[in-house]
Amino acid sequence: MSRRNKKGFILNQSPDKRTGSGFRPMASRPLGFTIIELLLAASMMSMVALAVLSTFGTGLRAFERVQSFGGFQADVLLFLEGFERDVRNTFVFSEVKFKGDSQSMSFASVGTKLAEDGHAFTVLEERSYGFDSSQKALVEKEEDFAPVVSSVIEGSVRTQQVAPIKAVMFQYYSYRKEIEDGKEKIESGWQGTWTDEERIPRGIKIQLTFEEGGKEVSLARTVFIPSGGDVGGDEQDDEEQEAGADGQGDV
């Protein structure tokens, strides 16, 4: 055992071999940090500070990208979301044929409206998208389909537009599987005009080009239609994957 004397020294109760006395003084360790401990602490603090600054820099760059992606690009993205929803709801309808070229398209779709009592109900609509070069805008129009009404009722036609747009391009993916001489024949590919009135495309690609911040920006979206084309199996799924891979720059 050891104890402290009045002067603060630690006295070891084991015998001192040199003096033969029962106690020998031992100096206590001074309080504080050594050079090595200070260097280790400084190194650890440097690593922590570097990690914090790196995380802050990454977050700042992400924030800048989000800010740069705002404005008109955000409006275009919102438009493309609605466009995809409308296109996926299209179907084959004898009274409203699917029509499309590189600058415009129209098709039958299903929409939702609110009644006066607040309840939602489904309506059949004819939707169209067209590029107006004079206004530099992509115009979207939806019209309620009512074959028994000879005149256009008030509120049956609604339009909105996305502007300013420099260019618009539509493409249509055709997929057809036929049996000729006992062999399966598949025809598929993108085309700039849709002329088949008996079918609707398997997929649609839209590309919008506009200027923002002094730079030309293009945003595209590829949408595959569940009821489009001919009903196929695994071969059709493979074709869709290849077609989707062609749509570079889609968002």
Pairwise CA distance, residues 192 & 207, whole Å: 12
pTM of the complete model: 0.62
Please tell me the total count of domains within the chain.
1
> Which tops the pLDDT comparison, 166 or 154?
166
Mean pLDDT of the chain: 76
Amino acid identity at 213: G
Q: Is the pLDDT of residue 67 over 50?
A: yes
- On whether residue 106 sits in a domain, the answer given is yes
Specify if 37 maps to a domain: no
Residue 65 corresponds to which tokens in the numbers above? 């990208």
Overall average pLDDT of the 40-50 stretch:
78
Please enumerate in sequence order all residues whose Cβ is within 8 A of that of 108, keeping only pairs 6 or more positions apart, or say none.
90, 91, 93, 95, 96, 98, 124, 125, 126, 127, 145
Q: How confident is the model at residue 235 (pLDDT cuts 50, 70, 90)?
A: very low
With bands split at pLDDT 50, 70 and 90, how would you rate the model's confidence at 181? confident
Query: Does 4 map to a domain?
Result: no
* Beta strands 120-132; 104-114: pairing state: antiparallel
Q: Which domain holds residue 168?
A: 72-246
Give the CA distances from residue 219 to residues 66, 80, 225, 233, in Å, rounded to whole numbers and listed in that order: 16, 9, 20, 31
* DSSP summary character for residue 249: T
Q: Is residue 1 part of a domain?
A: no
For residue 214, is it within any domain?
yes
Q: Which residue has the higher pLDDT, 220 or 38?
A: 220
Please tell me the distance from the alpha carbon of residue 202 to that of residue 224, in angstroms, as a whole number: 6
Confidence (pLDDT) at 56? 66
Helix or strand or coil: residue 82?
A: helix
Confidence of residue 206 (pLDDT cuts 50, 70, 90): very high
pLDDT at 148: 45
Whether 131 maps to a domain, the answer reads yes
* Residue 9 maps to a domain: no
**What distance lies between CA 23 and its chain's CA centroid?**
80
**For residue 205, which phi and psi values (nearest 5 degrees)?**
-120, 130
Query: Would you state the pLDDT for residue 117?
Result: 81
Nearest to 189 by CA among 200, 201, 199: 201
